Structure 1
Amino acid sequence: MPVRSVRLSVAALLGACLTTAALAAGPALTLRGDVATTRGLVQDLATAWTKSGHGKVDVQPFNTASGLDALRSGSADIAGSARPGNGSAQESGLVFTPVAWDGLVMITHPGNPVSNLTLKQLHDIYYGKITNWNEVGGRSEPMHVYAVASPGDGVEFSLRKLLFGRGNQPVAAPRLYVNTAKLEEAVTLDPKAIGVTTLSRVAGNRKVKMIRIDGTAPSVSTVASGSYKLYSPLYLVTNPNSPHAAEAQAFVDFAKGDKAAAVVRRDDAVPYNAGSALAAADASRRAEILAAVGARAVPQQPSAPSAAPPVAAPGATYASRAAIAPTSERTAEAKRALEDRRAKAAEKASLKGVHGEATTIDAAAARGPAFAKVTASATVKPTVAKPRTYKVASGDTLSSIARAHAVDVSDLRAWNHLKGNELKAGQVLRLGER
């Protein structure tokens, strides 16, 4: 056979082999999603997928909303999400598959002396009731609560669902960032900061300090055992109508398999299939958290992207709206709601004497921050309101007194000309302006 013919035959054979290998590997996939899921964990899964003889996965970390939008539009084949579907029409056709369990971790600057928070304290921080670090055993300085700006961010949504019973709860977090990576960077520079990210993101990062919750430190072992209560699944999301739907599903199946389990553990997460006890205990765990913080689950109502968040926590809503658009009508509405709430609380407290039949207070309103609705079957004549006072008892703190009388710690200081937090048993405090 002529030399030229031999060369052509070898070239043709090599070309056929390469084509066969490319077809076996499948098309390159694009995966976009939240930083908590994609940067680290999914990137390592993508590397393992490729090394196993499959195609390449182009991982694009950003945030949950961008990943789901890209999946719907067809510019991504898979999305990474730290939350389940929210029940909206936009997400109804997407398939959310849990692949790992991760801890939701509160972080602060290493120089901050606070190392532990209770679930109730964490709830009140996000609700806007606790605003100074000295209320949780720290220095006398304001808290800088950081959050991700997108209302559908996976980490924020999952934490709020645990603490408030719904993922779209507005919170008092005026410092907003595009994703958890930027939030983490900000926390490393601010000793007054607090924010949420995931264990897989910050385990071993000495530039931030992870805060214990009810005395339990976040770790792979405490998440796996369920003793650390703030844990949540990480999801890979697919679109059955995608041109590469079959290949995308194959990647998801790989991420749930035995080969990927070692990768998940190496990235400080728990393989989803290894956490069957966590899934079984999920409902009771959520109920336990809500009972600890004094909240109740609220059915999630899908809302249009442009809809305003519900004004359920006036202090939190006003703080977050003021940071975004201080002169807007929504901010003004939130401010009015906050002022109205405080006025109602003061009026309720002053209604100590009533002529005629006794008034009744709506029980549901009495359990939460909503306004109490007072009804009477006879004419109600409240006594003349007098400045309220409270005599300090042993063991009292400014924060405990403020919570008991529905006032702010900062107001207590102003009304009583206090510069610090020291109180003496027998001291009489004013609970209102003169």
Structure 2
Amino acid sequence: MMQTCQQMMKTLFPKKQQAFPGKPKSVSRIRFGRVLVWSLLLSAAFMPASAGYAGQKQPQKKPARSQLVVAGSVSCKTTFAAPLARQFAKKYDMKVKVYSGGSETGIFAVYARAADLAISSRPLTEDERKAGLQDTVIAYDAIAVIVHENNPVQNLTLKQLNKIFRHKIKSWKKLGWKDAPISVILPDTSSGLRKVFLQTIMRGKKIKVKIKEGLSTYGAIALLQKDSTGIAICSLSQAHYAHIKPIAVNGVTPNFDTLAEGSYPLQAPICLVTYGRPNLETRRFVAWITRGPAEKLLAKSFLVPREQGAYFSE
């Protein structure tokens, strides 16, 4: 069995693996897939076998429950992914494991067959779709621009954000506050929100400002809480934490209503990502979410649900 595991690992993660279109560059993302695959394979390899003497009657065992592995967005895990997984597991009497690590990590885990499904806060690229991945948009999130609670700035335009990241605006004085350098904070590159945010404000321009990186949006929030001259981003559902505050963008405050009506300019789609023809459990999970049960929980997380027909059939 161990030989079989090793052969499967070589298949999923060859030493000279062909470049996956859009594959995360960080080695930690690849390690996540390896660790997850090993944990799944080894759990099966060392499952205790039935023991007993010949002719001895063995006790009846319940059939093993099906299992679904979900990976991806850190901001989505606690707000709705984990609660939804618990509801789904109870309804279908199966195990559902939810791992975070970021949208990029989740997408690669699905591509490497280390996860059945990823929750991503960015859409797939065309290259990723050509590689066999599929995405289903289930909701939209507002990307909140946040500053320290002691910062009096209430609004920034997309143009001003662009200039901050191009290092054209270096001090808060030009934005109506004190003469202090702007400390730019972002979640690490595994974040889907980061990618959508930068695509929206930069429009192909090169980033020239020095960026402090936090591990996920929660890490970025933690850095901002200790930096009164900082600016960062997070999901709208995370913008309530102590010592930070969301500000308006282009004069529009981020909230459920402005997100729903489309007036808030920084929006990210929340997608379910699968590979090829998903298994029955994955198809059920996607169909179950897109048919309505998740709507209340999504709205509670300040996400605007997207009404659509079932993408997969059971």
Q: Same fold (TM over 0.5)?
A: yes
- Which structure 2 residues correspond to residues 50-65 of structure 1 after superposition, within 5 A? 50-65=89-104
Query: Which residue of 1 is the match for residue 225 of structure 2?
Result: 188
Query: What is the correspondence of 1:58-77 to structure 2 with a 5 Å cutoff?
Result: 58-77=97-116
Structure 1 residues 93 and 145, CA gap change in structure 2 (3 angstroms): same
User: How far did 1:132 drift?
Assistant: 0.8
CA distance in 1, matches of 2:75, 2:167: 25
**Whole-Å separation in 2 of the counterparts to 1:181 and 1:210:** 15
Contact 2:225 2:242 in 1 (8 A): no
SS at match of 1:130: coil
Q: How big is each residue's C-alpha offset from its partner over 1:272-325, in whole Å with a ceiling of 9 and x where there is no partner?
A: 118xxxxxxxxxxxxxxxxxxxxxxxxxxxxxxxxxxxxxxxxxxxxxxxxxxx
Q: Under a length normalisation based on structure 1, what TM-score does the superposition of the two structures give?
A: 0.54
Give, in whole Å, the separation in 1 of the partners of 2:95 and 2:142. Answer: 29
| Correspondence for 2:202 | 164
Matched AA of 1:188: Q
Q: Structure 2 stretches of 5 or more lacking a match? A: 1-58, 309-314
Partner of 2:236: 199
1:86 partnered with 2:120 = no
Alpha-carbon separation, structure 1, partners of 2:129 and 2:264: 33
2:226 maps to amino acid: L
Consecutive aligned runs of 4 or more in structure 1 exceeding 4 Å deviation: none
- 2:185 pairs with 1:146: yes
Q: Secondary structure at the match of 2:99?
A: strand
Partner of 1:256: 290
Q: Does 1:34 align with 2:73?
A: yes
Rounded to whole Å, the distance in 2 between the matches of 1:212 and 1:180 is: 19
Q: Does 1:266 align with 2:300?
A: yes
Which residue of structure 1 aligns with residue 158 of structure 2?
119
Maintained 8 Å contact 2:184/2:212? yes
Tell me which residue corresponds to 2:249: 213
Amino acid at match of 1:75: A
**SS of residue in 1 equivalent to 2:231:** strand
Indicate which of 246, 251, 266 corresponds to 2:280.
Answer: 246
Tell me the secondary structure at the aligned position of residue 164 of structure 2.
Answer: helix
Question: Which is higher, the Rg of structure 1 or of structure 2?
Answer: 1
Contact 1:36 1:155 in 2 (8 A): no
TM-score, normalization by structure 2: 0.73
How far apart are residue 130 of structure 1 and its match?
1.0
Which of 128, 138, 142 is the aligned partner of 2:167? 128
Q: Measure, in 2, the Cα distance between the counterparts of 1:207 and 1:198.
A: 16
Q: Deviations over 1:76-122 (max 9, x none)?
A: 11112111112335873111111111101111111111121122111
Distance in 2 of aligned mates of 1:68 and 1:247 = 18
Higher relative contact order (CA 8 A, sep 6+): 2
Confirm or deny: 8 A CA contact 1:30 1:58 kept in the other structure: yes
Report deviation, 1:271: 0.6
**Greater CA deviation, 75-84 or 157-166?**
157-166
Counterpart amino acid of residue 246 in structure 2: M
Deviation at 1:177, TM superposition (A): 2.5
Q: 2:262 aligns with which of 226, 234, 246?
A: 226
163 and 115 in structure 1: CA distance in 2 versus 1, 3 angstrom threshold: same
Q: Distance in 1 between matches of 2:185 and 2:210?
A: 6
Q: Is the 8 A contact 1:160 1:169 kept in 2?
A: no
Unaligned runs of 5+ in 1: 1-10, 275-434
